Structure 1
Amino acid sequence: MTTQTKPDNATHWSTRSMAEAAGISATSVRRIWKAHGLKPHLAIPRSLYTDISFMDEHG
């Protein structure tokens, strides 16, 4: 869910919003994300990968 969807009202999942959507605690979300190396707040939106000017500036 973290990598395949995004919340309706934000650019990325927070531990609280993911916990609410998944029906688990925020602590469980933190543990799962840590175990899988997920950091949604650091992800670059896919639309930027196709933006040539962004890629020129950011490699």
Structure 2
Amino acid sequence: MATPRRLAASRADAARALGFAHAQERFFQMDLMRRNAAGGPLPFLPGETRHRLVLKP
């Protein structure tokens, strides 16, 4: 996993960028959990992510 780095001109810009990054990651997590709970397919995931996740045989 990569560590996100944000360069900002002010604290407000930094807070906005951090909030955006957090929301983006949280949305991915919630969508993945929803699909897994529903028993739905996971082929929508990009290559490396799909291979790392062994959720159901």
TM-score over 0.5 for the alignment?
no
TM-score under structure 2 length normalisation: 0.30
* Structure with larger RCO (C-alpha < 8 A, sep 6+): 1
TM-score under structure 1 length normalisation: 0.29
